[in-house]
Amino acid sequence: MGISLFKTGLLASALLSVALTTGPSLAATTVLNVWDQFFSEEPNKLMNEFVAEFQKAHPGVEIKRNVLDTDSIRATLPAALTAGQGPDLFYYDAGPAFLGPLVEAGLVADLTQEYAARGWDKSLVDWPVERVTYGNKIWGVPNEIEYTNVYVDLAVLDQLGMKDKLVADKDHPELLTLKSLDDFKAILEASKAKGIVPIAFGNRDPGRGGHLFSYFLTLTAGKDLVDKILFGDGRWDDPKVIDAWKLYKDYSTAGYYPPSPNAISYDEGNALFFNGAAATNITGTWLVGDIMGQVADPSKIDFFLLPSVSADLPLSAAAGIGSTFAVAEKSPNKQLALDFLDFIMSKDAGKRWLKEANIVPPIKDIDIKGLDLPPMMQRVVEGATLPLSYNLDVVMPAEWNDAMKTGTQSLLDGSSTPEDVAARMEQAWEKAKAEGRIWKAH
């Protein structure tokens, strides 16, 4: 009885779906499959709005979204594309460990011509486009500029009597910074003395420590040295790389991190900061949305950028594009996918990414006046114009990432030295380089 009832139900629903799809629009319906990672509330909502509007403007087009988290899309997308059952359009990590192998396997559409045809070469910011460039060809459309920064709880800072340490940058007066890293240390020391966690840092997922490393490397070495390592004859055991690790390690030794950061998840670390239990939080601009949504009074939170160790390095941060949109080579609907991308990367759409999803799109000359962005978001947009360096994990091969990320954990528990970690990174780099698995934009 139960089974036959079940079967009847199954049959009924099958008939129903046939009836629905055999309606008058059947002949005209084109389905565009999109796999993305916009699972957070606001970006998800915005994507759904874009989809609805695009469908309205394109009768007979149906966009089916499949929203996945990062680990899930990494585990499933390659196999799906290889099997020819993947999406038409997907949002995936841009780096040589992720998009790179897909490009090499011929699974991703070459968009170089489209950039010229659709004017993206002029409308989009150059460096994010470079991140999706392999062998002088462009394979994706980046949709987000993100970079590391230091969030600060102004109420705590006030309590510490350290508010005057925040200064406006001389070239970018909208941006806050400190006079020197010593001022940062002063804030951290004062915070420690008051029993407030100086830096809300959770490194159970060691990618978080990786962001700190990328940021500190920007401060000690600057973008030029990193460029030299990535594209020239520089080495990962360079003394300035080791300096970055020493900075990371020194903050641990000095007690600026919470106890046992390796045991604290990223979310738990952020929660510490959101609850006012920590003075600062070194992470990235991607957290702005969460701060707006989760902190009881977001106006008490602001962010600043750390000054470099030497005065000759410009104000910078470690930046990346996170993931990128890319089109499947095997897709029968490439032009439709590109039309959709065109739609969501227009200047108007760009304003909405900013306003509704707290995402800074790599679209040039967006007029943010009249958008009524919160001050912190205005600063994020301003910061995106800086000469930014690399948030490394995304652009690096897997074994280098493993050496770097395990390094962030083993430095904290004392089982590695900065020199050990740097040596392991160089070793991994040379291996990947020898096997041709590194990012070569040009």
Partner 1 sequence: MTERLDQQSASAARRRGGGRPLGTAIRYLIFLGPAALLYVPFVLKPLIETFGLSLFAWNGVSAERTFVGLANYARALGDPIFWISLRNNLYWVVTSIVLPMATGLVIAVLLSAVRRGQRIYAGIFFTPVVLNLIIVGLVWGIIYNPLIGPLNRLLRAVGLGSLAIGWLGDRYAATPAIMVAGAWTFFGFCAVIFLQGLRTLDREQIEAATIDGAGPFRRFRKIIVPALSDQVTLLIVMSIIGSFKVFDIVYVMTKGGPDHASEVIATYMYWQSFMNGSLGYGAALAVMLTAVVAGASLAMMALRERD
Any contact of residue 196 with partner 1 (CB under 8 A)? no
Window 80-99: residues binding partner 1 (CB under 8 A): 81-82, 97
Any contact of residue 263 with partner 1 (CB under 8 A)? yes
Q: Using the 8-state DSSP alphabet, how is residue 200 labeled?
A: -
> What binding mask, one character per residue, do residues 284-313 give for partner 1 by CB under 8 A, x or -?
------------------------------
The correct pick among 8, 25, 29, 415 for binding partner 1 (CB under 8 A) is 415
Any contact of residue 259 with partner 1 (CB under 8 A)? yes
User: Of the candidates 232, 156, 244, 229, which has an alpha carbon nearest to the alpha carbon of residue 192?
Assistant: 156
Q: Which is nearer to partner 1, 270 or 308 (CB)?
A: 270
Residue 6 neighbours by CB distance under 10 Å:
10
Any contact of residue 118 with partner 1 (CB under 8 A)? no
Any contact of residue 79 with partner 1 (CB under 8 A)? yes
The span from the CA of 325 to the CA of 396, in Å, is 19
- By CB under 8 A, which span of 153-161, 305-313, 327-335, 398-406 interacts with partner 1? 398-406
Closest approach of partner 1 to the CB of residue 406, in Å: 4
Window 97-116: residues binding partner 1 (CB under 8 A): 97, 101-102, 104-107
The span from the CA of 93 to the CA of 99, in Å, is 6
Any contact of residue 192 with partner 1 (CB under 8 A)? no
Integer angstrom CA distances of residue 84 from 68, 329, 331: 19, 10, 9
Any contact of residue 427 with partner 1 (CB under 8 A)? no
Closest approach of partner 1 to the CB of residue 78, in Å: 4
The span from the CA of 249 to the CA of 246, in Å, is 5
Q: Please provide the DSSP assignment of 403-428 as one string.
A: HHHHHHHHHHTTSS-HHHHHHHHHHH
Tokens 């800074």 — which residue?
360
Q: Taking a C-beta distance cutoff of 8 angstroms, is the pair 188, 256 a contact?
A: yes
Q: Which is nearer to partner 1, 101 or 276 (CB)?
A: 101
The correct pick among 17, 265, 294, 335 for binding partner 1 (CB under 8 A) is 265
- Number of residues forming the site for partner 1 (CB under 8 A): 38
- By CB under 8 A, which span of 254-262, 293-301, 308-316, 336-344 interacts with partner 1? 254-262
Q: What region does 394 belong to: left with phi over 0, alpha with psi -120 to 50, or beta?
A: alpha
Any contact of residue 399 with partner 1 (CB under 8 A)? yes
- By CB under 8 A, which span of 61-69, 76-84, 290-298, 302-310 interacts with partner 1? 76-84
Closest approach of partner 1 to the CB of residue 204, in Å: 6
Integer angstrom CA distances of residue 340 from 89, 125, 203, 346, 370: 9, 19, 37, 10, 26
Q: Residue 276 corresponds to which tokens in the numbers above? A: 């006012």
Q: Which is nearer to partner 1, 93 or 114 (CB)?
A: 93
The span from the CA of 205 to the CA of 406, in Å, is 10
Give the gyration radius of the chain's Cα atoms.
Answer: 23
Any contact of residue 402 with partner 1 (CB under 8 A)? yes
- By CB under 8 A, which span of 213-221, 255-263, 282-290, 311-319 interacts with partner 1? 255-263
Window 198-217: residues binding partner 1 (CB under 8 A): 203-206
User: Of the candidates 76, 81, 47, which has an alpha carbon nearest to the alpha carbon of residue 64?
Assistant: 47
The span from the CA of 362 to the CA of 300, in Å, is 28
> What binding mask, one character per residue, do residues 358-397 give for partner 1 by CB under 8 A, x or -?
----------------------------------------
Spatial CB neighbours of 376, under 8 Å, sequence gap ≥ 6? 288, 291, 298, 301, 302, 303
The span from the CA of 347 to the CA of 365, in Å, is 8
Q: Which is nearer to partner 1, 82 or 294 (CB)?
A: 82
Any contact of residue 222 with partner 1 (CB under 8 A)? no
The span from the CA of 6 to the CA of 427, in Å, is 59
Q: Residue 436 corresponds to which tokens in the numbers above? A: 């041709």
Q: Taking a C-beta distance cutoff of 8 angstroms, is the pair 151, 273 a contact?
A: yes
Question: What residues make contact with partner 1 under the rule CB under 8 A?
Answer: 71, 74-75, 78-79, 81-82, 97, 101-102, 104-107, 203-206, 258-265, 268, 272, 398-399, 402, 406, 409-410, 412-413, 415, 437
